[in-house]
Amino acid sequence: MPKTYDFEDFCQITAALRKKEGGCPWDLIQTHESLKPYMVSETAEALAAVDLYDQTKDSDNFCEELGDMLFQVVLQSQIAAEEGLFTIDDVVQNISEKIKASIQAEETAAE
């Protein structure tokens, strides 16, 4: 049975790609700026996957493309962590607070 990976494993794999020794040469040279075209491309591919899913109900491609988008977020966050800017945990914390605030605002408005 193949290993089952979780989000923490994925972040560790991404970090390993950026290690000076044993990392991936392509990933090591990437910057926030150099990754911009890949972010655009992966977003476009995810949008196409939504259309394909609507037409064919093929969720495998949809899942794969969302994974590619997730990789972009985690890789950008890994680079940011290396630069001392923020970590993936900060990204998760910020979006969680934003969503939670939205939920609370909706609940307050409904009262």
Tens of pLDDT, residue by residue over 17-70, are 999 999 999 999 999 999 999 999 999 999 999 999 999 999 999 999 999 999
Which pLDDT does position 82 carry in this prediction? 98
Spatial CB neighbours of 17, under 8 Å, sequence gap ≥ 6:
23, 24, 27, 28, 75
- The structure's pTM equals 0.89
Residue 85, SS3 per DSSP: coil
